[in-house]
A and B are shown apart, each in its own frame.
Chain A
Amino acid sequence: MSVLSVKNVKKIYQAKSAVPSAALNGISFEVEKGEFVGIMGPSGAGKSTLLNVIATIDTPSSGRIVIGGQDICGIQEPALSDFRRNKLGFVFQDYNLLDTLTLRENIALPLILAKKKAPEIERMVSQVAQQLSIETMLKKYPCEVSGGQRQRASAARAIVNQPELLMADEPTGALDSKSARDLMECLQHLNEAQKATILLVTHDAFAASFCQRILFIKDGRLYRKISKEGTRKAFYDAIVAAFSELGGDDRELR
């Protein structure tokens, strides 16, 4: 069963006194339940736009996006907020944790918004904190922990209400390689153990190598797909090769 279905989605930006430019130019793909899919592409390929329209933060100019059987293009506020809250989870490059809240409170946020009972909130927060091994630092504020721990807290917040789809936008972008590996292993674990469906947008071939398959996009179109066969190392090499072929600057790959 497909969790996410993107059909012929276009996003055209009409700037004043300029030729309209298409950030997304009729892109289509599907993500099945329990899949761990990566999206890669050079700068300006439309990765962020794609993620924004799937995340319901932006609306496509045309095409259809269905998440968990529901067409998201027709939903209006405040149902949209509910949808975002209940069906989607996000991990951002810059964490987007509230510095006014402790990690525990940050993770509890979606549950509080969903008006869950206090004991249930406590239980669920402890559970995801354990899965992401940050249970010892729940009382700390974001500024008191490392970037990797912050990002894991952010991931914990994204999955605490068991969303249909977890979206991660360059989650390793601000992390050192050790923290990046830890985080990706956490996500992989979530995918394997909890059957979480994950959509990862990244520049980082190393991070991408944790996925099961990679969609390469260029100029707003789907350019190529590759799937993991064999070891992660082999997949990593395949990704690097594909990325160079795509015309992506090697220096963009990290």
Chain B
Amino acid sequence: MMPSLQLFPSLGVTTVSFAEIAVKNVQKRLGSYLAYFLSTAFSVVVFHLFCTMYYNPAFAVYRFGSGKMNTLFQGAAVAVLLFATIFVLYSGSFFLRGRKKEIAIYSLLGMAKRAIALLLFCETFVIGMAAVVFGIAIGSITAQYFSSGLMRVMAVGTSVTYTVSPMAAVVTTAAFAVLFIISGIRAYQVIYRYRLIDLLSATHQSEGIPKYSVVGAAAAIVFVAAGYLAACAMNLNQAGMKLLLPAFLVVVLVSLGTYLLFRNAVPMATARLKRKTSFYYQTSTFISTSQIAFRLKANAKMLTLSALLCALSITMVSASYSLYRGLEQSADFYAPFSYLVKNISEEQHTRISQTVSDIGEVRITAEDTIPLIHTQLQNDTYGVQNGVEEDATLGAPVDGYILSDSIYQKIIADTQAAYGKGSSLRTDYSGKLADQECYFLDGNMTNRYSAGLIGQELTFRVGNSTGTLQVSGISLHKYLGLLDLYQCPSIVVSDTVYQQYMLAAGSENIDTFYGFMFDDEMASAHTTAALDGFIPARFSDSTLPSNLSYIGMYQANFALYGSYVFIGLFLGILFLLSMGSVIYYKMIMEAQEESLRYAILRKVGMKKQEMHACVAKQLGVVFGTPLAVGLLHTIFALATYNRMMELMGQEMPTFANALMVAGLSVLIYGVFYLISVKKYCAIVWKKTK
């Protein structure tokens, strides 16, 4: 690009200050500065969006605390900072590269190096700061839509409020001011380091295939593998620095490994490919491979950034989404019934039905009366665990309940419990109990102590009488929800046996639960609130509803974990969009340079469709490799996340959800790819025709 000549008369006047020239430069050639301005503004928007989240008072606890979520939150802050740094430095150096010739002409005309450097520095700073103001404005507006959009997707009960914090704007401005100073110093270096001739022929310089080392490629694989291993091996039941340090180590290992991979392994593969002439000498492969090879050195950082962003965003969105799905499931887990009450009077019972129909929000589709007989159960191999880590005391009598075959069958039918084993939400009960048999419902979270009970004798005691039953089947099913059955096993017995002990127990040894199913439990918020108004509260914990209801648990869960989901989705989507845009911008900027090469190819007789194939292939590699590497990272990150979530991870199919999210991300990413190819081709056409 030739510099505009009308600038030079003004340079002749010695009284003109450099700041003035810089401002004039920007003013006069706004068009060519626009790309730089927009890309900088974009990174400001991303950074500012993150800052509004980071400094949102609602999330203040995560910033300074030391829990697992805080570690994730702080990690995300580092990632965003890294993203902004690399992006600003990249667009800065690209901007400078396009202007080397102009700098050389200033120099030829006798402008001192110091003056040129100052000029460029002022210019970069002026555009940069304009971009910051613009970016913060756009960021503030977007943040509102972004938050309200996400909020709409999220469930009822999420209480995240959007607030514009002046801190976010201050931090953004400060961070970018520092970045522009670094960028400016780099510009200084360029001007001082290069000789005039280098500047004049800057755009013609070939990079060739960058030098790579086999050692570097091997190190890349070792680092990534070590990172993966460390992630799989690290102890996640820690908090604070004990969790943060290994996590940091994993991130450093994987990031470094990824960079070395793109810096060494990819050039190595390209060089190999070039040697295989039968493959290499095919039109589109030939052009795209050589173009990619040509830019590999400059691309390594960018590809690394994309791969890491890709891994980060897919992991975050997947993890958040599976947590989100998990919260729904965990409502089932806590409240299989739409509404569950214990030991109420007959009058209260009637009033429940009355209230539900008066409000008319939902209809009662099923009602279970569940009288449970208090019992003590004993077996030498059984005990209840206090938490998953501690061992149970074996052989001690455990408080539990007795229920009848017909009641249990009705509960299964009404709550639509799934058929299956080894889950608190499933049962494989099939009825047909003989009088000396029982079906054992474990009060533990895992079947570690109950698995061996099948076929064994179980002693039970009701009041003063004792008896023995043979265990015919076991399940972890929490038919009343986790809270009432925590550390409290139950046995299902035949109706005859049940009647017999019912009489023996006496009313003081019986807990009667009443379970109601509504036709639309998600819409039962008002009804439940009204019912809680006259039913005595069973729980006084602030994180729990006063009586067990599906909607109550659902809202309580979201109040607790909703902000995690929100932050995760917010950042994940932000990163995904950033990554797509980064590559898009990069490609569009490069297309301007590449179009000259395509013009030559066109003169040599390349067809339009062949050019299209070349562009598609070239961009395919640029988009595809970081995606592939990123997805590989994602697998390990999610496996670690799943372990970190421990119990929740077991109950929730993180991977199934992750697969869906990953699929969706790849789709969005694919759209970015298609748009880039289209735009790239359009730029190339314009220059060639």
Contacts and interface: CB of A to CB of B under 8 A. Distances in A.
Interface string A147-174: 0000000000100000000000000000
A96 B608 contact: no
B609 interface: yes
B204 interface: yes
Residue of A92, A98, A111, A118 with most partner-chain B CB within 10 A: A98
Contacts of A117: 278, 281
B206 A141 contact: yes
B282 A144 contact: no
Interface stretch (B255-263, B562-570, B599-607): B599-607
A70 to B, nearest CB: 15
A96 B600 contact: yes
Contacts of A33: none
Interface string B160-180: 000000000000000000000
Contacts of B27: none
Contacts of A84: 603, 605
Contacts of B606: 81, 85, 113
Given A78-B609, A100-B206, A143-B206, A122 B604 contact: no
Contacts of B290: 98, 100-101, 105
Contact of A110 (B277, B294, B605): B605
B475 to A, nearest CB: 66
A141 B209 CA distance: 10
A108 to B, nearest CB: 7
A213 to B, nearest CB: 27
A109 B600 CA distance: 11
B597 interface: yes
B293 A118 contact: no
Given A109-B604, A113-B604, A143-B204, A100 B597 contact: yes
B interface bracket (residues with beta carbon within 8 Å of A): 20 to 34
A110 B277 CA distance: 15
Given A90-B603, A143-B204, A112 B608 contact: no
Contact of B204 (A90, A99, A116, A157): A99
A245 interface: no
Given A99-B206, A100-B597, A141-B206, A122 B603 contact: no
Interface string B266-287: 0000000000011011110010
Interface in A97-133: 97-101, 105, 108-113, 115-118, 121-122
B205 interface: yes
A82 interface: yes
B447 interface: no
B204 A112 contact: no
Residue of A90, A105, A117 with most partner-chain B CB within 10 A: A105
A144 B206 contact: yes
Contacts of A92: 603
B605 A82 contact: yes
B610 interface: yes
Given A99-B206, A100-B293, A105-B290, A157 B607 contact: no
Residue of A100, A112, A121 with most partner-chain B CB within 10 A: A100
Nearest to B284: A112
A78 B605 CA distance: 10
B208 interface: yes
Nearest to A88: B605
Contacts of B605: 81-82, 84-86, 88, 110, 113
Contacts of A116: 281
Given A105-B286, A105-B290, A141-B208, A96 B281 contact: no
B423 interface: no
Nearest to A143: B206
A109 B606 CA distance: 9
Residue of B206, B283, B601 with most partner-chain A CB within 10 A: B206
A78 B607 CA distance: 6
A57 interface: yes
A115 B283 contact: yes
A81 B608 contact: yes
A121 B281 contact: yes
B603 to A, nearest CB: 6
A142 interface: yes
Given A85-B605, A100-B294, A113-B604, A118 B278 contact: yes
Contacts of A111: 281
A143 B286 contact: no
B206 A142 contact: yes
Contacts of A88: 605
Nearest to B605: A85
A77 interface: yes
B468 interface: no
A78 B286 CA distance: 20
A105 B597 CA distance: 14
Contacts of A143: 201, 204-206
Contacts of B107: none
B283 A85 contact: no
Interface in A42-100: 57, 77-78, 81-82, 84-86, 88, 90, 92, 96-100
Contacts of B281: 108, 111-112, 116-118, 121
Nearest to A96: B600
B600 A98 contact: yes
B283 A112 contact: yes
A224 B118 CA distance: 58
Contact of A57 (B206, B603, B609): B603
Contacts of B278: 117-118
A112 B610 contact: no
Contacts of B610: 113
B608 A77 contact: yes
Contacts of B206: 99-100, 141-144
Given A109-B604, A113-B604, A157-B604, A122 B277 contact: yes
Nearest to B276: A118
B597 A98 contact: yes
Contacts of A77: 607-608
B66 interface: no
Residue of B278, B291, B604 with most partner-chain A CB within 10 A: B604
Contacts of A144: 206
A107 to B, nearest CB: 11
Contacts of B204: 99, 143
Interface in B603-620: 603-610
A142 B294 CA distance: 13
Contacts of A78: 607-609
A70 B434 CA distance: 98
B613 to A, nearest CB: 12
Contacts of B286: 105, 109, 112
A239 B278 CA distance: 49
Given A57-B603, A82-B607, A85-B605, 17 more contacts: A81-B606, A81-B608, A82-B605, A85-B604, A88-B605, A96-B600, A98-B600, A100-B206, A100-B293, A109-B601, A109-B604, A111-B281, A113-B283, A113-B604, A113-B606, A118-B278, A141-B208
23 contacts: A78-B607, A78-B609, A81-B605, A82-B605, A82-B607, A84-B603, A88-B605, A90-B604, A98-B597, A99-B206, A100-B206, A100-B290, A101-B290, A108-B281, A109-B601, A112-B281, A112-B283, A112-B286, A117-B278, A118-B281, A143-B201, A143-B204, A157-B604
Q: Which 3 A-B pairs have the closest CB atoms?
A: A85-B605, A100-B294, A118-B277
Interface of A: 57, 77-78, 81-82, 84-86, 88, 90, 92, 96-101, 105, 108-113, 115-118, 121-122, 141-144, 157
Interface of B: 201, 204-206, 208, 277-278, 280-283, 286, 290-291, 293-294, 597, 600-601, 603-610
